[in-house]
Structure 1
Amino acid sequence: MTFRDSAGEQHGLPARTAPSRTTASRCYYLVGPSGYPNFGDELIAATWLRYLARTDPGAEVWLDCHSPGPAQLLLGDLHPRLRCTDTLWRLCGEAPSADPWEVAAWVQEVVHDPGRAPRWDAGIALLGRADVVHLLGGGYLNALWPRHLGLIAGAAAAARRSGGRAAMTGQGLVPFPADATHLLRSLADRFDVVDVRDDPSAELLAGCAAAYRTCDDVFLAPPAPSPATAAREFVLCVQSDIGAHEVSTLAAKVLGMLRAWRAEPGQIAVVEGIPRVDRAVHSLLEHELDGAEFHPFRDVWRRGVPAAPGQTWISTRYHLHLVAAAAGAAGVALSVSPGYYATKHRSLIDLGSGWSMLDATSKRIPDRPDGTGFPAQVIRRCSQLKLSVAEAVYGPPPAVPVEPGAERGTRRRVLRPRWSRTGG
């Protein structure tokens, strides 16, 4: 497996020897913000679970998330041995304060001395036998949620205790608490694989030998357009949970764009990425757009995103931008948070999504975009990069059985590649 940096230089990532699947099964411990539900977070977890179902269906797989009950129901059929828990999330919440340094210190102490948190002793014991502790990708390790830095500290401590491998992939780390940057770099140096999805996150980890930059985890296997969903010409996904913009301001911006583009209500669909949160703007617009079609989260999750070539999207949601552009749709990324969402959308635009970006408070009405989404070669290249990341974390699926007797849990360091600033 190789990566190329921006100068075109090749860097190898030797895979660890995969253990025999006929002996004691591996224990893979995934960590992510699943179960809220949030379409992007669930899609990232689903992408990794499907990968592991293909490559190691006999492995014991745990998903540590803040909402394990809903996560089990949403994701439980994607790997035959998946179970959900919330140990690391609980430990982050039990830290004495929300200060990232205190959270990180507390979680590490508890992982190494479970007697300090006896209510979670069984969960900490499970952490202590994980072969891989993997922080799934997303935008949840940053200043918006400072307690979440404890997840990084906990993963590093758990891998040290078990002798397993620590990995984080597809991370969007900005904005990050300025006074915790050195702590982040110190923790990252204890990981075997550190993979980020945008340039600002790469710059934040500059100097960390383990770190490199590829793209979002969903590129491992982007969802195909669903033939079961009728695709309308204009599609909206506008959130109301992050940013300082009033719902009425967002509704006015969206309606102004649709009127300028002469979109008829019968040509419009509305997609919900988070239940209720993405319905607030639609609720203000539905009397103005009588005949528009609403796709609640449950339908999007079960049937797929109604994305197709020739569509025009307006989306504040990053992963809807990614999926729609991968399906060949054009769009405008409406930024509701310059320090958070703008970075996320910019990473996809720089990668070649063909979308434009507009601040939600801008008075400008853009022309209707006429792009065709990601070029096929970009999707292929990004998928190859993420497959290399997956094999760096879990090892390649064995072509032939490995001889019995390989030591379980042996930790093998990965040769560090340089930064790749091309994003794939």
Structure 2
Amino acid sequence: MPSSPADVPVEHEPRSPVYYLVAPVGTPNYGDELIAAGWLRYLAEHAPGATVWLDTHSPGPAQVLFAGMHPGLRVTDTLWRLCGAAPSEEPWQVSSWVQAAVHSPGMTPHLHHGIGLLHRADVLHVLGGGYVNALWPRHIGLLAGVLAAARVSGARTAMTGHGLLPPAAGVTTLLHALVGRFDVVDARDRPSAELLGLERGVDDAFLALGAEGHSGADACWPGQEPPEVLLCVQSDMVGESVTELAATVLSTLRAWHVPPHRVCFVEGIPRVDREVFELLEHELPGARFYPFADVWDRGLPARAGQVWISTRFHVHLVASAAGASGVALPVSEDYYAVKHRSLAELGSGWHVAEGPAGPLPWPSGGGFDPAELARLTREKRDIAKGIYAPEAEPHGDG
């Protein structure tokens, strides 16, 4: 007599893990996109069967930019919308309100299902960058929201490679309270680590350097002589005027006696990093422009033997990792200078200028020592293993 259905043991297939990443991507911004791409590729290598949610302020563009980087990638904006919906931008108020909303989805019924997804994640990971600070006070709600969700689900929590300067006024005690609840934490620069009472870590972009962080300059300009001097010069968040920044660049190129056809401007954020080029292109006939679209599709056109001038932190990081020498030109003391100095301390070999006051000196350094670069990359991969192991072990044949 056949057994009844109640007598037949039911085998339940194990549920694939759900990893929930939080990052400010989709603008796009070269550094933020590079970091997210590094983590997605890491998870594609170690956990291809996982479902990976990426929570960002710009989910549509992010879905396009990161398509194919992980087979289980999905994109949403729940935490960013919660931060924006908080009735105040004062960090303590944002933190309290976002935690309450995650615990009580009825506060924001239009985000009910998104909050439910947060409650089902196995890992909640706030990716690195410099976006939780006084410049964007609402973003502390990202940390608070992750912790509130983990309190419901028991998920592992991580915040990695963060730069927290300049901190918002009166926020240090709150930061300590929030950060102390994360399972894995590291800060990418010494002042941020000291603020949290931690050992210094490294930027999350070091995880991406083993993948497609940069490309050979010859491949970017087939049949042409590659540029000798490359520049990435922003026009946003500039402490002084953009015209003063342009004047510094022009006086430097004149002092270095670089022919304009050997100069190339590289774009880290579309349009924002083109303004200085447009101010100078008539003074530098023949100078080239390498747009963000090409940077994203082909990689940063960096190699040993080049000289760079960069206001952008992650361009400094990747170009120096490729062996290029350069000058970092911070456009603000309390934000960009901290970031650039952190790379110089690690051994990028770049000169960090005091600000837009040209002409800048010809750099003498030649990028990261390969052995030190390998050590820094291993350090970040060890952090990754601590977050995603044992779920994210490489899949074998047997």
TM-score by shorter chain over 0.5:
yes
Report the CA distance shift for 1:113/1:280 in structure 2 as closer, same or farther (over 3 A).
same
**Which amino acid is 1:389 matched to?**
I
* Inter-partner Cα distance in structure 2 for 1:67 and 1:224: 22
Check conservation: 1:214, 1:382, Cα contact below 8 A.
no
2:7 maps to none
1:232 maps to 227
* Residue 161 (structure 1) shift: 1.2
Is the counterpart of residue 37 in structure 1 residue 40 in structure 2?
Answer: no
* Inter-partner Cα distance in structure 2 for 1:176 and 1:51: 30
1:376 maps to 370
* Residue 357 (structure 1) shift: 1.1
Q: Which has the larger radius of gyration?
A: 2
1:95 maps to 86
Check conservation: 1:76, 1:83, Cα contact below 8 A.
no
Cα offsets for 1:146-205 (capped at 9, x unmatched)? 000000101111111111111000000110013011001001111000111000001110
* Residue 224 (structure 1) shift: 4.8
**Which amino acid is 2:345 matched to?**
D
Secondary structure in structure 2 of the residue aligned to 1:241:
coil
Check conservation: 2:47, 2:394, Cα contact below 8 A.
no
2:6 maps to none
* Residue 367 (structure 1) shift: 2.5
Q: Could you tell me which of 189, 196, 206 is aligned with 1:219?
A: 206
Report the CA distance shift for 1:400/1:333 in structure 2 as closer, same or farther (over 3 A).
closer
TM-score norm. by structure 2 comes to 0.92
Q: Could you tell me which of 250, 255, 264 is aligned with 2:259?
A: 264
2:172 maps to 181
TM-score norm. by structure 1 comes to 0.86
* Inter-partner Cα distance in structure 1 for 2:230 and 2:360: 16
Equivalent runs, 1:274-289 vs 2, <5 Å: 274-289=269-284
* Residue 377 (structure 1) shift: 1.1
Q: Could you tell me which of 35, 53, 57 is aligned with 1:62?
A: 53
Is the counterpart of residue 106 in structure 1 residue 106 in structure 2?
Answer: no
* Inter-partner Cα distance in structure 2 for 1:260 and 1:309: 22
* Inter-partner Cα distance in structure 2 for 1:270 and 1:367: 19
* Residue 81 (structure 1) shift: 0.9
* Inter-partner Cα distance in structure 2 for 1:254 and 1:378: 31
**Which amino acid is 2:200 matched to?**
R
Check conservation: 1:336, 1:359, Cα contact below 8 A.
no
2:327 maps to 332
2:149 maps to 158
* Inter-partner Cα distance in structure 2 for 1:224 and 1:97: 38
Is the counterpart of residue 319 in structure 1 residue 314 in structure 2?
Answer: yes
Count, aligned residues: 375
Check conservation: 2:18, 2:123, Cα contact below 8 A.
yes
1:407 maps to none
* Inter-partner Cα distance in structure 2 for 1:87 and 1:150: 11
* Residue 43 (structure 1) shift: 0.4
* Residue 359 (structure 1) shift: 3.0
Contiguous gaps of at least 5 residues in structure 1? 1-21, 402-424
Q: Could you tell me which of 318, 341, 358 is aligned with 1:346?
A: 341
Check conservation: 1:99, 1:146, Cα contact below 8 A.
yes
* Inter-partner Cα distance in structure 2 for 1:307 and 1:372: 12
Check conservation: 1:253, 1:360, Cα contact below 8 A.
no
Contiguous gaps of at least 5 residues in structure 2? 1-12
1:392 maps to 386
* Inter-partner Cα distance in structure 2 for 1:178 and 1:381: 36
Secondary structure in structure 2 of the residue aligned to 1:183:
helix
1:140 maps to 131
* Inter-partner Cα distance in structure 1 for 2:393 and 2:352: 43
Check conservation: 2:35, 2:208, Cα contact below 8 A.
no
Secondary structure in structure 2 of the residue aligned to 1:23:
coil
Cα offsets for 1:89-112 (capped at 9, x unmatched)? 000000011100110000000000
Check conservation: 2:34, 2:213, Cα contact below 8 A.
no
Secondary structure in structure 1 of the residue aligned to 2:54:
strand
* Residue 23 (structure 1) shift: 2.1
**Which amino acid is 2:326 matched to?**
G
1:12 maps to none
**Which amino acid is 2:258 matched to?**
A
* Inter-partner Cα distance in structure 1 for 2:168 and 2:139: 11
* Inter-partner Cα distance in structure 1 for 2:115 and 2:283: 53
* Inter-partner Cα distance in structure 1 for 2:64 and 2:73: 11
**Which amino acid is 1:145 matched to?**
W
* Residue 212 (structure 1) shift: 3.9
* Residue 225 (structure 1) shift: 3.6
Secondary structure in structure 1 of the residue aligned to 2:265:
strand
Cα offsets for 1:106-129 (capped at 9, x unmatched)? 000000010111010010000000
Secondary structure in structure 1 of the residue aligned to 2:353:
strand
**Which amino acid is 2:383 matched to?**
V
1:80 maps to 71
**Which amino acid is 2:201 matched to?**
T
* Residue 400 (structure 1) shift: 7.7
1:149 maps to 140
RMSD: 1.3
* Inter-partner Cα distance in structure 2 for 1:191 and 1:342: 28
* Inter-partner Cα distance in structure 2 for 1:140 and 1:41: 10
* Inter-partner Cα distance in structure 2 for 1:134 and 1:176: 21
- Aligned identity (percent) is 59
Secondary structure in structure 2 of the residue aligned to 1:140:
coil
Q: Could you tell me which of 107, 114, 119 is aligned with 1:116?
A: 107
